[in-house]
Amino acid sequence: MCKIKPADITQASVSYTLQTEDEFVKNDWFMNQTFGFHGELQLDDLTFLASFFGEESKKFLPVAGVATKLNSNSTLIAKVYSFLPLPLQTGLPAHINGHFAIHSSRRSIWEHTSFGQWNRLLLNYIMAPSYSHLLRDLGQLIKTTAELKQWLKVLPDISSAKDEYFRNLCAKLYLYIQTTDCPMIPTSRESNTVTFHPPSVCLFVTANRNEVVEKLLVTLKQNLCTQPDIGLKFKRAGVDNLVTLTPQVLLERLKTIELRLPCPIKNTAFQCPADMRTILEFILSGDIVQDLNLLVGSPLCLSLDGVLRRFLVSQVSSQGT
């Protein structure tokens, strides 16, 4: 008979800083410890756990932890721990500790049998959430773009993972962030400040950046992630349904923003005709050039006297093709 059900196991997660010191150097760490299963367990996983915990020989705790160095210029050679160190490296920018099912030699973790299944559940429901919580809580300490560099160093890249298990961890991490809509995407604000928001309300830039367009969106207080690598890391990990800044997306956003037009352009977020031209060229570089009627309602009509207005149907018709 099963003595404990997975649903009865307490869920907990805590992040904290820690300083270690030896005769040579001091190190500052940021760590997360997560206990219990986080997320919605699949029926097959619930069935397995009921059987797994029902066996007297299976006494694995659902616990995992993630740790990364702070204020360090060197690259962390991240290792794997199961309470004590294992001769394994993650390839990710953080040490990983978990109650793994490991071989008797302590040189590898199980991939097959019920022990391998336990290790997969440890990854999916405890380890990936722990890494996510670490990033979320570390983000709460970040206030400026200069400080953001520390957070970006901890964000993993699936292409750097050492083996399939840690590639799966990286993929599960990004999926967990996306499905829980965790507020952990850094977005720029004026005065070089940074705030964090859920992925669902953010715009992500690509490598082909346009600084004038980005500056406009920041001025208009849009949640713009100006770090191309973040969106790229999500995509590499298999999460590719983020809202990317494209000409079509920019146009639709501009239509929904209240700008109190007509108004002299110098008194708007567009600031000057030169910036307006750059923004309009960016929009027209997309599919909209095939149908200028899509401009109707957008705040992109600038008259010769320097007054900005929204496009009307008659104004688009007068432009021709």
CB-count burial class (<10 Å; 0-12, 13-18, 19+) for 161: buried
Confidence at residue 27, expressed as pLDDT on a 0 to 100 scale: 87
Report yes or no on 207 lying in a domain: no
Residue 86: pLDDT above 80?
yes
Q: Measured on CA atoms in the order 248, 254, 257, 261, is the torsion positive or negative?
A: negative
Residues 135-157, mean pLDDT to the nearest whole number: 93
Q: Count the neighbouring beta carbons within 10 Å of the beta carbon of residue 5.
A: 12
168 and 263 housed in the same domain: no
Confidence at residue 73, expressed as pLDDT on a 0 to 100 scale: 76
Q: Count the neighbouring beta carbons within 10 Å of the beta carbon of residue 320.
A: 6
Residues 237-248, mean pLDDT to the nearest whole number: 94
Confidence at residue 251, expressed as pLDDT on a 0 to 100 scale: 94
38 and 171 housed in the same domain: yes
Give the integer Cα–Cα distance in Å for 21 and 279: 53
125: DSSP letter: I
Confidence at residue 185, expressed as pLDDT on a 0 to 100 scale: 96
Residues 222-237, mean pLDDT to the nearest whole number: 95
Token pair belonging to 294: 């899509």
The average confidence (pLDDT) of the chain is 89
Give the integer Cα–Cα distance in Å for 23 and 26: 9
What share of the chain in percent tops pLDDT 90? 64
171 and 263 housed in the same domain: no
Confidence at residue 74, expressed as pLDDT on a 0 to 100 scale: 76
- Which residues form the domain of 279? 258-319
133 and 30 housed in the same domain: yes
CA distances from 105 to 87, 119, 218, 220 (A): 10, 17, 55, 59
173 and 262 housed in the same domain: no
Mind giving me the DSSP string for 135-178? HHHHHTT--BHHHHHHHHHHS--GGG-SSHHHHHHHHHHHHHHH
Report yes or no on 298 lying in a domain: yes
pLDDT digits (tens, 9 = 90+) for 162-184: 899 999 999 999 999 999 999 99
Confidence at residue 1, expressed as pLDDT on a 0 to 100 scale: 44
130 and 269 housed in the same domain: no
Report yes or no on 234 lying in a domain: no
Q: What region, left, alpha or beta, does residue 190 occupy, with left being phi > 0 and alpha being psi -120 to 50 degrees?
A: beta
